[in-house]
Structures are given as structure tokens and as C-alpha cells.
């Protein structure tokens, strides 16, 4: 069965970077886009960007341009999201999520979420 399993919770200091991993199983990583979405405590969903694991091509939300990097390692079916220059506003649950096969624009499977806490 399709699964997207993320790395565990992180606690970071302001100014640091965080790298979250997302391992895909039950399907071929390179056949589907991978999206990254975050949700701050008590807040709504925020789309951060997506990666085409086949080509490595990315699209990032303007808000995160220059601060986010999405990569993948196809040999281990894993995608990564690295966010730098962390502030307390980056405290959130970060989800990786698989895009649908047809357009890649809809999310059909979600990871369990990774809580990133930014605190001094």
C-alpha cells in the first residue's frame, strides 16, 4: 500500500536550518510529484512547493523562495525539504504529500507530519 513516512520532530534555534525527509513506499517515487505543505498551530494549510522527483525540477511558493530547497534521492525513494533562516513563525507541522498521477496538482496521500519547533 502507498505510504509516505516522514522523519521525526525537530527543535531548532532561530537562524538555524531544518531538513525533513519523506520516504515513499508502495509506489515509484519518480512517477509522482511530491508536495510540501505546512500548518502552524491552530492555523490553516500553507503550500510551500513541489518537486518532480523524476527530473528534480521544483516550484516554490514566492514566500519561501530563497529559503527553501526541495531535493530527492531516488536510490532510496526519499524526498527532502530544507528550510533555512528559521524564526518562531516557522513553528509548524510540515507535511510531505504525493501529487496525483494525472496532473500532479492534487494531493492523494499525505505523510504523518513532522512538527518543527523553533525556539531559543
Interface with another protein by CB under 8 A: which residues?
35, 37, 44-47, 49-50, 59-63, 95, 97, 100, 103, 105-108, 110-113
User: Closer CB to another protein, residue 50 or residue 72?
Assistant: 50
Q: End-to-end alpha-carbon separation of the chain, Å?
A: 40
**Cell 519523506, residue located:** 22
**Least CB distance from residue 50 to another protein, whole Å?**
8
For 1-120, where are the alpha helices, taking DSSP H only? Answer: none
Let me know the angle formed at the C-alpha of 45 by 6 and 95, rounded to the nearest 5 degrees: 5
**Least CB distance from residue 70 to another protein, whole Å?**
13
Cα separation, 29 vs 92, whole angstroms: 25
φ, ψ of residue 75 in degrees (nearest 5): -65, -25
**Cell 537562524, residue located:** 15
**Least CB distance from residue 97 to another protein, whole Å?**
8
User: Closer CB to another protein, residue 75 or residue 103?
Assistant: 103
User: Closer CB to another protein, residue 16 or residue 109?
Assistant: 109
**Least CB distance from residue 14 to another protein, whole Å?**
25
User: Closer CB to another protein, residue 16 or residue 117?
Assistant: 117
Amino acid at each position: 500500500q502507498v505510504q509516505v513516512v516522514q522523519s521525526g520532530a525537530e527543535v531548532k534555534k532561530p537562524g538555524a536550518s531544518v531538513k525533513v525527509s519523506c520516504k515513499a513506499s508502495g509506489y515509484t517515487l519518480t512517477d509522482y510529484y511530491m508536495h510540501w505543505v505546512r500548518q502552524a498551530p491552530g492555523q490553516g494549510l500553507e503550500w510551500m512547493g513541489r518537486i518532480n522527483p523524476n527530473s528534480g525540477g521544483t516550484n516554490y511558493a514566492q514566500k519561501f523562495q530563497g529559503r527553501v530547497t526541495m531535493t530527492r534521492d531516488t536510490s532510496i525513494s526519499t524526498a527532502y525539504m530544507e528550510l533555512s533562516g528559521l524564526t518562531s513563525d516557522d513553528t509548524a507541522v510540515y507535511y510531505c504529500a504525493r501529487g496525483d498521477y494525472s496532473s500532479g496538482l492534487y494531493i492523494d496521500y499525505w505523510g504523518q507530519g513532522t512538527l518543527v519547533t523553533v525556539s531559543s
